[in-house]
Chain A
């Protein structure tokens, strides 16, 4: 009986409702956690695996020696490589395509590469303007590598002591 009366008072006093509204009122003035994406970005780990790039040595020579380890290790068969002997007797790729629709960004290619040629950058906000755009060829990959070399080498350096 007393419990019933207590419950009645509690219900008609809207105690639960007031408690709930107190919580939302408190949140109204709290700091907001939204990150304003294009202007602000969340921190990214040096190991982040984003868009691919092919690197060059500081003297301008491309690193990739067409060993095809990345092609072999790729679980999604996203990499296609053709190679030939160059005039100076070294083996180089003539074709190096990555199908970004197939790629699962596992980072195995990067791990397998003996010369750190294929790497995954921190770029994750990219778009294709055509269906074919999803396949990046060697020229495109080298271009990305040239453009972001500073960030790529910095990320490798930061991560080197843990490898």
Chain B
């Protein structure tokens, strides 16, 4: 896929020769990734309002465009024309840095996420590690936003979310360890390749409890309901982004949604066979669905997980802070450690098609 593009650019502008053409290619790759991502994020907000509305027997947005389809653009334009207010005693530098620190890692993670057999920007050997590492940097955005606002609610929100994210990162790390042990690779491409050969070869079967733990931790990690203590409207209003307005607020918002999409993709890559068709190895259906590009399978599976985000948000009330912490340290952490041992045992005994 990329090679064709690279050749095209080299033929197209031969005098570019080497360096400049490569820069151009990198730029094109970046735009080709970020643009659909942002459109996806915009429509995620629309889907969220629509799905939650339907689950609450409402209709959701339906005024802007047919069935409200242009609503995200209306929101974007509203956000763009809003004034950015700096609180008078805020630390301006950190105040500006915070939304950037939240947004940039959310985008940067996508550099290594493979969306198809040959559809990725970089094939990093430690891509899963990179995803976890860069994903954690996003916490700084929240902490800095809370601190720099010089206001009580953002600070409380930042403290709550910081301790939460740090705790759940450990769980996600351990879950990743089980996946890495199963795939015996830290490369996301190889993790997905290890799951080829139909639905029974995907890692969700041997790692079923880990999948659930991962998903619940992913909800926490992206600050989504029912674990959205960072912005508990009933007690601390908007949490860290109380003092943010206009595009600065939009950056936090975009970071949250892009992280959601990233977590959904990660769940698919680690447990649901990535871009592999679920009909692989099924005699008749495999041929029937052979025409579907591999990226479409990934998008379908991803959409389900994104829907799950909304479904869960529409269903459950917010957890109390100590309950979330108890869940993390007393339930998930022991469970993951036990399962790491189980996976080690399964690896030794070469169970099933997975090990």
Chain A residues at the B interface, C-beta cutoff of 8 Å: 12, 14, 17, 20-21, 23-25, 27-28, 30-34, 36
- Write the nearest CB–CB distance from A9 to chain B, whole angstroms: 13
For B209, the chain A residues whose CB sits under 8 A away are 12
For B51, the chain A residues whose CB sits under 8 A away are 28
B57 touching A30, Cβ below 8 Å: yes
Judge if B92 is at the interface, Cβ distance under 8 Å.
no
Mask of B28-67 contacts with A, CB within 8 angstroms, 1/0: 0000000000000000000000010011111100100000
A27 touching B312, Cβ below 8 Å: no
| In the complex with contacts A32-B57, A33-B57, A34-B58, A14-B315 CB distance below 8 A | no
For B315, the chain A residues whose CB sits under 8 A away are 17, 20-21, 23-24
Within B271-325, the residues touching A (CB, 8 Å) are 311-312, 314-316
B54 touching A27, Cβ below 8 Å: yes
A21 touching B311, Cβ below 8 Å: yes
Q: In the bound complex, how far is the Cα of B54 from the Cα of A79, in angstroms?
A: 46
Residue of B62, B212, B312 near A21 (CB, 8 A) is B312
Q: In the bound complex, how far is the Cα of B225 from the Cα of A21, in angstroms?
A: 14
Within B124-140, the residues touching A (CB, 8 Å) are none
* Number of chain B residues whose Cβ lies closer than 8 Å to a Cβ of chain A: 15
For B55, the chain A residues whose CB sits under 8 A away are 24-25, 27-28
Q: In the bound complex, how far is the Cα of B59 from the Cα of A31, in angstroms?
A: 10
Chain B residues at the A interface, C-beta cutoff of 8 Å: 51, 54-59, 62, 209, 212, 311-312, 314-316
Known A14-B212, A17-B315; further 8 A-B contacts with Cβ < 8 A: A20-B315, A21-B312, A24-B55, A25-B311, A27-B56, A30-B57, A34-B57, A34-B59
Q: In the bound complex, how far is the Cα of B62 from the Cα of A23, in angstroms?
A: 24
> B51, B312, B315 — which one has the most chain A CB atoms within 10 A of its CB?
B315
Q: In the bound complex, how far is the Cα of B307 from the Cα of A28, in angstroms?
A: 12
- Write the nearest CB–CB distance from B190 to chain A, whole angstroms: 31
Q: In the bound complex, how far is the Cα of B172 from the Cα of A121, in angstroms?
A: 63
Q: In the bound complex, how far is the Cα of B215 from the Cα of A156, in angstroms?
A: 62
For B312, the chain A residues whose CB sits under 8 A away are 21
For B316, the chain A residues whose CB sits under 8 A away are 17, 20
The residue of chain A having its C-beta at the shortest distance from the C-beta of B316 within the complex is A20
The residue of chain A having its C-beta at the shortest distance from the C-beta of B312 within the complex is A21
Q: In the bound complex, how far is the Cα of B54 from the Cα of A30, in angstroms?
A: 8
Q: In the bound complex, how far is the Cα of B58 from the Cα of A27, in angstroms?
A: 10
Q: In the bound complex, how far is the Cα of B308 from the Cα of A25, in angstroms?
A: 11
Residue of A17, A25, A32 near B58 (CB, 8 A) is A32
Q: In the bound complex, how far is the Cα of B52 from the Cα of A32, in angstroms?
A: 12
The residue of chain B having its C-beta at the shortest distance from the C-beta of A29 within the complex is B54
B54 touching A28, Cβ below 8 Å: yes
Top-6 shortest CB links A-B: A24-B315, A24-B55, A34-B59, A20-B315, A27-B55, A24-B314
| In the complex with contacts A20-B315, A21-B311, A21-B315, A27-B57 CB distance below 8 A | yes
Q: In the bound complex, how far is the Cα of B51 from the Cα of A12, in angstroms?
A: 27
> A28, A30, A36 — which one has the most chain B CB atoms within 10 A of its CB?
A28
Q: List 10 A-B contacts (CB under 8 A).
A: A17-B315, A20-B315, A21-B312, A27-B54, A28-B51, A28-B54, A32-B57, A33-B58, A34-B58, A34-B59
- Write the nearest CB–CB distance from B173 to chain A, whole angstroms: 22
Q: In the bound complex, how far is the Cα of B311 from the Cα of A33, in angstroms?
A: 20
The residue of chain A having its C-beta at the shortest distance from the C-beta of B317 within the complex is A20
Q: In the bound complex, how far is the Cα of B225 from the Cα of A24, in angstroms?
A: 15
Residue of A17, A28, A32 near B59 (CB, 8 A) is A32
For B58, the chain A residues whose CB sits under 8 A away are 32-34
Q: In the bound complex, how far is the Cα of B209 from the Cα of A12, in angstroms?
A: 9
> B55, B62, B312 — which one has the most chain A CB atoms within 10 A of its CB?
B55
For A23, the chain B residues whose CB sits under 8 A away are 315
The residue of chain A having its C-beta at the shortest distance from the C-beta of B313 within the complex is A24
Q: In the bound complex, how far is the Cα of B62 from the Cα of A120, in angstroms?
A: 34
- Write the nearest CB–CB distance from B220 to chain A, whole angstroms: 15
For A20, the chain B residues whose CB sits under 8 A away are 315-316
Q: In the bound complex, how far is the Cα of B56 from the Cα of A162, in angstroms?
A: 39
For B212, the chain A residues whose CB sits under 8 A away are 14
Q: In the bound complex, how far is the Cα of B209 from the Cα of A30, in angstroms?
A: 32
B311 touching A32, Cβ below 8 Å: no
Q: In the bound complex, how far is the Cα of B47 from the Cα of A28, in angstroms?
A: 13
Q: In the bound complex, how far is the Cα of B67 from the Cα of A36, in angstroms?
A: 13
For B56, the chain A residues whose CB sits under 8 A away are 27
- Write the nearest CB–CB distance from B51 to chain A, whole angstroms: 7
